Amino acid sequence: MTPSLETLPIELVGHIVALISLRNITSLHLTSHTMESKVSQQQQQHLAQYFTYKDIELTSEPLENMMHITSQGHLGCLLQHCTITGVAGNDDDDDDEHIRRSLTTAFSNLKQRSPTGSLASLCLRVSVRDHNNSNDSDSGSASESSESEPERSNPSLQSIWATALRTFTITMAALHAAQLPVASHLDIYSGGLRCSLVYDALLPLPRQFTSSTSVFSSLKELKVSLSSPFVDSKETTPGHSRPTAHGKLALRALLDMSAIMPQLECLDVHWYNTIVDSHTSASTSDVTPPPPPNPAVELSPSHFTSLKACTFRGIYISSDDLFILLKALHLTSLILTDIRLTLGTYASIFDYLALPDTTITDYHLDDLRQGHALVHFDVPGTAKFPYRGATMGPSTLTRQESEAKETIAYRMTHERPLGSGELWR
């Protein structure tokens, strides 16, 4: 048999379509009816991959395009992994209500016309419009370089926090109005630098979605970065200097999420400390003194029945509250990174992890602090930073399965770390 393109397996035709230009794809269409059929199938699959993942700016023109393409059905409604990006420093005078209606319409189109009637994942991000880059001014795109270093760009950090809040508020309102389910993954600013959601924006969420539990009823993973309201260090007042109290309110709200996220399996919480004590040098303290515990804020028991893995990063919390939180969640896997105990010690926490009947059998502990002192574990290894006059063990400990039930011995030192600037960073 004479070799022919028509005899190629359809999978190989798919690889060819993915590598050649649109003009050559058109030419391949015209070679024969057989090739037209094979190319059409593979071209549609190739284009479908392009429409499955989309990053959409929360501005008028991209949202109007999204409304249009989802109203047509077909490829436009194949979107499964959606990123909504708010733009700090955007000069367009976009009306929030108009933006919300546009996004609601697009979400409604997806619910009605997509094959699954849902999104698999939804991520929220903030980018920075760099007005100093003339190449971006005509295209209307956000500068990626400025996203990693927003403090060097025109918008202030307060503006970035405000954009994060606006993006979250509009997106949640549109999800609620459209009743579009997010089936697997919700990411609220966990992947960005120098950007977070003010904690009190999360508090109404369980109540807001109580009447529409289908939106998050099958959600498997929640990642969120939270913070106190952004306040300049020169304007810090005692009422604002409460990362512990604010963090506790945020944790209580997250526990309340079980009412609307009953199938949640993984929870990743990052606390972004926005309050810096300008009167204290970094060598002794990087935050204002913690407030006394707030007895009015209680961590209620969790009703998460499927939650197995939790990551907590940067949280300010008392030892009692951390103990109550871990007992309430019934986890099998735990990651604690950059946790600061504002009251109490880690003794009860580490004893709990070593108990035979504790469900946690996999944990990773890294850079934990009691007050300002860094915890070092009595295990083989060396500290990340040497100390003057003291030899300490590593500040990281990872254990799994039977090893996780071994006693956790630790100690701290008040000796000055060498290279302390790098340590505090």
pLDDT at 343 over 80: yes
In terms of residues, how long is the chain?
425
DSSP 202: T
Please give the average per-residue pLDDT across 342-360, as a whole number. 95
At residue 342, φ and ψ (nearest 5 deg) are -90, -15
CB 115 within 8 A of CB 78: yes
pTM of the model: 0.79
The structural domains of the chain, with segments of one domain joined by +, span: 1-52, 53-424
Q: Which amino acid is at 34?
A: T
At residue 372, φ and ψ (nearest 5 deg) are -100, -5
Averaged pLDDT of the chain: 81
The pLDDT value given to residue 238: 47
Using alpha carbons, select from 287, 273, 272, 275 the residue that is nearest to residue 232: 275
pLDDT of 34-73, one tens digit each?
877 766 666 566 666 667 889 999 999 999 989 988 887 7
Here the tokens at position 93 are 């005078």
pLDDT of 270-304, one tens digit each?
998 876 543 333 333 333 344 444 444 455 556 78
pLDDT of 396-425, one tens digit each?
999 999 999 999 999 998 887 776 566 666
CB 180 within 8 A of CB 215: yes
Determine which of 227-241, 388-402, 407-421 has the lowest per-residue pLDDT on average.
227-241
At residue 286, φ and ψ (nearest 5 deg) are -120, 5
Q: How far apart are CA 46 and CA 40, in angstroms?
A: 10
Specify the higher pLDDT residue, 142 or 100.
Answer: 100
The two counts, helices (H) then strands (E), for the chain are 13, 17
The confidence band for 243, taking pLDDT boundaries of 50, 70 and 90, is confident
Q: How far apart are CA 105 and CA 299, in angstroms?
A: 38
The confidence band for 152, taking pLDDT boundaries of 50, 70 and 90, is very low
Q: What is the dihedral of CA 299, 304, 306, 311, to 10 degrees?
A: -30
Determine which of 4-18, 181-195, 313-327 has the lowest per-residue pLDDT on average.
4-18
Query: String of b and e for 288-310 (b: at least 16 CB within 10 Å)?
Result: bebbebeeeeebeebebeebbbb
Using alpha carbons, select from 88, 156, 79 the residue that is nearest to residue 118: 79
pLDDT at 372 over 70: yes
The confidence band for 208, taking pLDDT boundaries of 50, 70 and 90, is confident
- List, in sequence order, the alpha helices (H) in 79-237: 96-113, 134-137, 144-148, 157-178, 205-208
Here the tokens at position 76 are 């436009």
